[in-house]
């Protein structure tokens, strides 16, 4: 809302900038001071004066709540950033716990390139006891990795799509989207 023309993903540099300054402060801050701030909070990963100039230019043209500026929007943004940070920490704690638990379950899924602990845990959770499937075809069908059969009499279509009947979570873990 502050910078509608700035296309960026929320990262630590932008989080700090939005939490520490109002749009008005960014717009009127000496460019060198803004540049030094960005360099400091990004731990010298971002050190572009062009970025400081772009942010300041956008701040000058950003949403202004005048003639009586209010901190309501800024408070809302800061609260949202803090919620996102909180949820990210919680998600990381859960992922760490899942990684610990998956190592206790005998499996070879994590040896497959691209399958990590979280994906392996999801696949195992969705399949459950693999012995409940009579064969590999039954498991493939459960995962939605089979093609629809379109035939009538002697005609059999060669242009078929993957079935949409599937365990959507398992199919997602396996990298397929159900449309």
CA atoms within 13 A on the CB side of 42: 18
pLDDT tens track, the chain, 179 positions: 566 666 556 577 778 887 888 878 888 899 989 888 888 888 766 657 777 888 888 788 776 655 455 567 778 878 888 898 899 999 999 999 999 999 998 888 989 888 899 999 999 999 999 999 999 989 988 988 877 676 677 766 666 676 777 888 898 888 854 44
Q: In angstroms, rounded to a whole number, what is the distance separating the alpha carbons of residues 39 and 12?
A: 12
Q: In angstroms, rounded to a whole number, what is the distance separating the alpha carbons of residues 172 and 123?
A: 9
Check residue 4 and give its pLDDT.
Answer: 62
Check residue 118 and give its pLDDT.
Answer: 92
Classify residue 23 by burial, with Cβ atoms within 10 Å: 0-12, 13-18, 19+: buried
Interacting residues of 46 by C-beta distance below 8 A, sequence separation 6+: 13, 38, 39
Check residue 98 and give its pLDDT.
Answer: 95
Predicted TM-score of the model (pTM): 0.59
Check residue 102 and give its pLDDT.
Answer: 93
């Amino acid at each position: 809302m502050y910078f509608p023309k700035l296309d960026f993903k929320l990262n630590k540099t932008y989080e700090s900038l939005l939490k520490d300054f109002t749009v008005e402060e960014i717009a009127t801050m000496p460019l060198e001071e803004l540049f030094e701030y960005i360099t400091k909070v990004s731990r010298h990963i971002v050190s572009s004066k062009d970025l400081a100039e772009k942010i300041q230019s956008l701040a000058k043209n950003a949403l202004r709540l005048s003639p009586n500026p209010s901190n309501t929007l800024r408070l809302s943004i800061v609260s949202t950033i803090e919620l996102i940070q909180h949820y990210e920490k919680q998600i990381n704690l859960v992922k760490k716990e899942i990684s610990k638990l998956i190592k206790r379950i005998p499996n070879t899924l994590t040896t497959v390139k691209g399958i990590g602990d979280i994906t392996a845990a999801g696949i195992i959770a969705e399949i459950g006891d693999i012995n409940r499937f009579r064969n590999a075809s039954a498991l493939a069908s459960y995962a939605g990795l089979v093609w629809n059969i379109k035939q009538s009499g002697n005609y059999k279509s060669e242009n078929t799509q993957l079935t949409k009947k599937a365990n959507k979570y398992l199919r997602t873990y396996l990298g397929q989207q159900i449309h």
